[in-house]
Amino acid sequence: MQNTPLVDASSIRVAAIRFLARREYSYCELYERLKPRIDCQLLPLLDVVLSALQAQNLLCDQRFCESYVRVKVAAGQGPLKIKQALFHKGVTESIIITVLADYDEQWYDNAFRVWYKRFGRSGEYLNDQARQIRFLQSRGFEFEHIQAALQQGRQQVSEE
């Protein structure tokens, strides 16, 4: 059923709605998921169907971006990594900036939470600060968030 070719607008719409029933997708992401199942001559029809889904608010890049950011923030990823992934998924920069702006105050706490989960309990704070910085950078945090997390970690270590 999943690999059957899509031959008309109604079958394309049904397949798109099945994908959207599971989770949110960006326009580009859904386009790429459906494209292999459509004949090359019907690709303009795919654009028409996806545009109609957008007009009906069934497909929304803003909603996808909000959902994606919420999940990745909860997983401990930083703004740089999330932004790059959203660009890769075809979300426009204006939407990304708007959604990430809602989390501006949270990045500092998240950076510390991720740092503490990895390094805070083991007491190895003073041993290898460069490794800790690289770890937080790999999670996508900006340097100011990393500095704040390390400063907060230093304060916590000195209090214990």
How confident is the model at residue 58, as a pLDDT?
95
69, 39: one domain: no
CA-only gyration radius of the chain, Å: 21
32, 69: one domain: no
Q: Which two tokens stand for residue 2?
A: 């999943």
Please count the structural domains in the chain: 3
CATH number of the domain encompassing residue 89: 1.10.10
In a domain, 3, yes or no: no
In a domain, 1, yes or no: no
Helix (H, G, I), strand (E, B) or coil at 6: strand
How confident is the model at residue 154, as a pLDDT?
79
In a domain, 4, yes or no: no
Mean pLDDT by 10 residues, the chain (160 residues): 75 94 96 91 91 95 96 96 96 96 93 89 68 94 94 76
